[in-house]
Structure 1
Amino acid sequence: MFCRKEKDMPQQGTVKWFNAEKGFGFIAVDGGGPDVFVHYSAIQSSGYRTLDENQRVQFEVTQGNRGPQADQVVPL
């Protein structure tokens, strides 16, 4: 999948929902704008990579084939 970076500065936001069984969810970006898709493979942690609803995260936004998506996701 081709992705290009939209912004160099990391963004912060809150996990709206994340389905651990399917391995994806969405993040609400601080300051508004469209929700950002997040895939488990973008989560920067060891072991089982998942996110919790309402969890604060930092991430970079890239443009995927279906719209904005999170990369380099770090739980705060």
Structure 2
Amino acid sequence: MRYNIIGVCKIFYEEEGWGWISIEGEADVWVHFSSIQMDGFKLLNKDEKVLFDLEENPNLKEQSRRAVNVRKL
């Protein structure tokens, strides 16, 4: 697990509750609405900066790099 990484929301599918966060110089990271730390309806907007922890699980295919504890900056 890596902590306190800054990234930018690449895309977030509000109706499905998931999206991708870009990290400069690295592969994109998958994010689920349940990992967003905020009250009310949880979503990210395109190009919004976020701070998060990175959980890696090489046994998974697309979601092998997952953002957790996501906080908007």
The reply to whether TM is greater than 0.5 is yes
Partner residue of 2:65?
Answer: 68
2:41 is the counterpart of 1:48 = yes
Letter in 1 for 2:16: K
1:17 shift after superposition: 0.3
1:23 shift after superposition: 0.3
Runs ≥4 residues deviating over 6 A: none
State the alpha-carbon separation in 1 of the partners of residues 4 and 49 from structure 2.
13
The percent identity for this pair of structures is 32
Query: What count of residue pairs does the alignment treat as equivalent?
Result: 69
CA RMSD of aligned residues (A): 1.0
- Superposed CA deviations along residues 8-56 of structure 1, whole A, max 9, x for unmatched, are x310010000001000000001x31110000000000000000000000
**Residue of 6, 18, 22 corresponding to 1:12:** 6
State the alpha-carbon separation in 1 of the partners of residues 72 and 40 from structure 2.
14
State the alpha-carbon separation in 2 of the partners of residues 40 and 58 from structure 1.
14
Runs of 5+ in structure 2 lacking a partner? none
TM-score (norm 1): 0.85
Runs of 5+ in structure 1 lacking a partner? none
2:59 is the counterpart of 1:59 = no
